[in-house]
Structure 1
Amino acid sequence: MGQFLMSDSILHKRLLDHLRTAVVMLDASLRVRYLNPAAEMLLATSASRIIGQVLPDYFFDDEEARQALNQCIEDEHPFTRREARLMVAPGYQITVDYSVSPINEPGQPLSLLLEMQSLDRLLRITREEALIHAHQATRALVRGVAHEIKNPLGGIRGAAQLLERALPEPELTEYTKVIIDEADRLRSVADRMLGPRKPPLFMPVNVHECLEHVRQLLLAEHPEGVAIVRDYDISLPDVVADRDQLIQVLLNLIRNAVQALLESHTPEATIVMRTRVLRQFTIGAQRHRLVLRVDIEDNGPGIAEEIQETLFYPMVSGRANGSGLGLSIAQSIISQHQGLIECESEPGKTVFSLLLPMEQPELTESSEP
């Protein structure tokens, strides 16, 4: 009988160890008695470090949650929270659904069973899918508008040229010149709204060589005032991409950061160029074996909260003299690479993250001349 119970206990532990749900057992003093591997991964700790320790005060960083927890201990009443933010470490939060259930076995002190399901990855995937679909819909609308703008511009410009030849007085050509110049300017804007005209020419590209090329351009344009710090993972293999288009995107992101820093007169203005590789990473709904992540981080004033959700839409700009097309075009280019550009911003820290699959299925087809 004892052997059967021991085997049963081992089986239960193995089941807990293989659960994807994070499970933590606490005593009434919130001292950790057990956690399974899923909980170790979620909380970024190890059982040997946390077992026997009391959960820190900042873990439940919410007065309502602490009150519910106290009620659970006193009245043995379980509770559940949805999309809760838990402080795993100072300055590091996770988003989870969690429930706390009291376990009161006869002759045993009260225990609390904490079950957590991580939502960060799910929320990120949902946000990325929404961003991709919104960008595709907006780009289709903008391209249609741009075509409609370009169609009559040729006629307007041609009529102005004919009118210029027929004018009796040379000084009147000043007005036809304004018409021609403005028609050319609108045509240029429409061309930019249409975005890249040719598909990417895929080939193996060293992303650090591209970043260094962009860095040299920026240092030539702004030799003083902004420090550019490199934080490269030099073990990264080549990424399959269009080199010229990748440089265009990186130059756009870094120029935006430089302009934001200079216009805000940020003291000790700094831009960090960071490269990392992500394994088994999902972009939108597509999972990739290896994904390149390039971060362009600045310590400027941040992006206004009211435009962060629409930042990649055409004609949206955080700068007074910005056209609002640069980020939209950059997103279009990276979309053609099956990738995505994300942004997180708060005062003192803005990060644009370029996510790019390191292998492109279109390599053979698109690289043909």
Structure 2
Amino acid sequence: MKLGVRSRVTADDVYDGLTTSVVSVDEGLRVSTINSAAEGLFEVSRRLVLGAPVVEAIPHFVPHERRLQAAIDSGTGFIERELKLSRNGTATLTVDLTVTPFIVGKKPGLLMEMQTVDRHQRISRDGTLQLQFDASRELIRGLAHEIKNPLGGIRGAAQLMEHEFPDSQHREYTRVIIREVDRLQNLVNRMLGPNRAPQKSLMNIHELLEHVRRLVQAEAPPEVALLRDYDPSIPEVVVDREQIIQAVLNVLRNALNAVGNDGTITLRTRARRQLTIGGARHKLMVQIDIEDSGCGVPPDMIEKIFYPMVTTRATGTGLGLPLSQYLIHSHGGLIECRSRPGCTVFSIYLPIEST
């Protein structure tokens, strides 16, 4: 039996297959290797960082430069649990860092392995939220069934009364009953969300975002700035156009309500590598950030805003975000929120599938 020739697997192929972020530096603390997971973690490009000093290529390591240099000089590695890495303008990363000295061609270097604690916490939280969301959705389905049956009876009785007593006084009462019943039925239907599976096709994510941006721009006061920060290298995604538009529109309208008559909203896209969502690992995902300069989400509400009927606005229904989360979940994605006064970011993650 003739065997086929196996393709050669390089060290870079192995590194890029890891979910652990890996960065190696030479004796001058210049970046010699970086894998895809580290590119995504630090939001840097391999082409730009290779050969550059690590503290310039990845500013998160500026406070740790002396310790890394000491590890090179002494040939002694170290391990840091739950190390906080941050730089201006980005969220703090919490990682378990393992630094191991090595020798290549009689020249010393360091291998840095980073396992994100935030990632494990998020995977666990995502699973819990998904279970809670599924449980609440089943509860809503049961309640909706119990509510819609008597609503139909009430509406039918009001229509019969309208035919039985056609005078204007009774007609006014029956019209109020029918109108309120229809309002409640629409509310129940919105709680249930779409009753069809996503009809997916290949789409340009930026074309969808521009469509939503134009819709919201037409509603926004003149003083509200809607900015764009798109990554043009992101490939097309396989999604249901109408469902993704609805999901993004709900979040963007919330941002518009948060900034009021004067503020800034930014639509941002980035490619993310090696992410795990709902127990599934994705080599490449698109991250859509909707950032606003509003007053922020109260800390005690941040874990509750995706539940039905929970809202921070007096006039809100509490259905927009749960519906968006459901639509994104049905695409294998996730919506996350982080917030502080003056900066709230909703991040939508969608898998980039190949066809």
Please indicate, yes or no, whether the TM-score normalized by the shorter chain is above 0.5: yes
Match of 2:275 in 1: 281
Amino-acid identity (%)? 49
CA–CA distance in 2 between the matches of 1:86 and 1:195? Answer: 40
- Secondary structure, counterpart of 1:322 in structure 2: coil
Q: Could you report, residue by residue, the CA deviation over 1:179-206 in whole angstroms, capped at 9, with x for unpaired residues?
A: 1111111111111111012211110011
Where does 1:183-194 land on structure 2 (aligned, <5 Å)?
183-194=181-192
CA–CA distance in 1 between the matches of 2:335 and 2:134? Answer: 14
CA–CA distance in 2 between the matches of 1:294 and 1:337? Answer: 14
Return the letter of the residue paired with 1:242. Answer: D
Return the letter of the residue paired with 1:247. Answer: I
Match of 2:309 in 1: 315
Aligned: 1:224 with 2:222: yes
Aligned partner of 2:170 among 169, 172, 194: 172
Return the letter of the residue paired with 1:341. Answer: I
- Alpha carbons 1:201, 1:241 under 8 Å: kept: yes
Q: Could you report, residue by residue, the CA deviation over 1:226-274 in whole angstroms, capped at 9, with x for unpaired residues?
A: 1111111111111000111111111111111111111xx55xx111111
Q: Could you list the runs of 5+ residues in structure 2 that have no partner in the other structure?
A: 1-17, 23-28, 43-48, 56-60, 65-78, 99-112
1:188 to 1:48, Cα distance in 2 relative to 1, 3 A: closer
CA–CA distance in 2 between the matches of 1:247 and 1:21? Answer: 33
1:165 to 1:281, Cα distance in 2 relative to 1, 3 A: same
- Alpha carbons 2:83, 2:97 under 8 Å: kept: no
Aligned partner of 1:332 among 326, 333, 337: 326
Q: Could you report, residue by residue, the CA deviation over 1:4-54 in whole angstroms, capped at 9, with x for unpaired residues?
A: xxxxxxxxxxxxxx9x799xxxxxxxxxx9xxx99xx6997999667xxxx
CA–CA distance in 2 between the matches of 1:21 and 1:207? Answer: 27
Return the letter of the residue paired with 1:192. Answer: R
Match of 2:150 in 1: 152
Match of 1:102 in 2: none
CA–CA distance in 2 between the matches of 1:338 and 1:87? Answer: 29
Q: Could you list the runs of 5+ residues in structure 1 that have no partner in the other structure?
A: 1-17, 23-32, 51-55, 60-79, 100-114, 364-369
- Alpha carbons 1:85, 1:93 under 8 Å: kept: no
Aligned: 1:134 with 2:132: yes
CA–CA distance in 1 between the matches of 2:159 and 2:293? Answer: 50
CA–CA distance in 2 between the matches of 1:271 and 1:299? Answer: 7
Q: Could you report, residue by residue, the CA deviation over 1:50-89 in whole angstroms, capped at 9, with x for unpaired residues?
A: 7xxxxx9977xxxxxxxxxxxxxxxxxxxx997x563555
- Secondary structure, counterpart of 1:234 in structure 2: coil
- Alpha carbons 1:311, 1:327 under 8 Å: kept: yes
- Secondary structure, counterpart of 1:320 in structure 2: coil
**Normalised TM-score (structure 2):** 0.71
Return the letter of the residue paired with 2:308. Answer: P
**Normalised TM-score (structure 1):** 0.69
CA–CA distance in 1 between the matches of 2:166 and 2:294? Answer: 56
CA–CA distance in 2 between the matches of 1:238 and 1:49? Answer: 33
Match of 1:270 in 2: 264
CA–CA distance in 1 between the matches of 2:52 and 2:349? Answer: 33
CA-CA distance at 1:222 after TM superposition = 2.2
Higher mean alpha-carbon deviation, 241-250 vs 121-130, is at 121-130
CA–CA distance in 2 between the matches of 1:116 and 1:197? Answer: 42
- Secondary structure, counterpart of 1:230 in structure 2: strand
CA–CA distance in 2 between the matches of 1:271 and 1:295? Answer: 10
CA–CA distance in 1 between the matches of 2:166 and 2:265? Answer: 58
Match of 1:203 in 2: 201
Aligned partner of 1:303 among 262, 274, 297: 297
How many pairs does the alignment contain? 294
Structure with the greater alpha carbon radius of gyration: 1
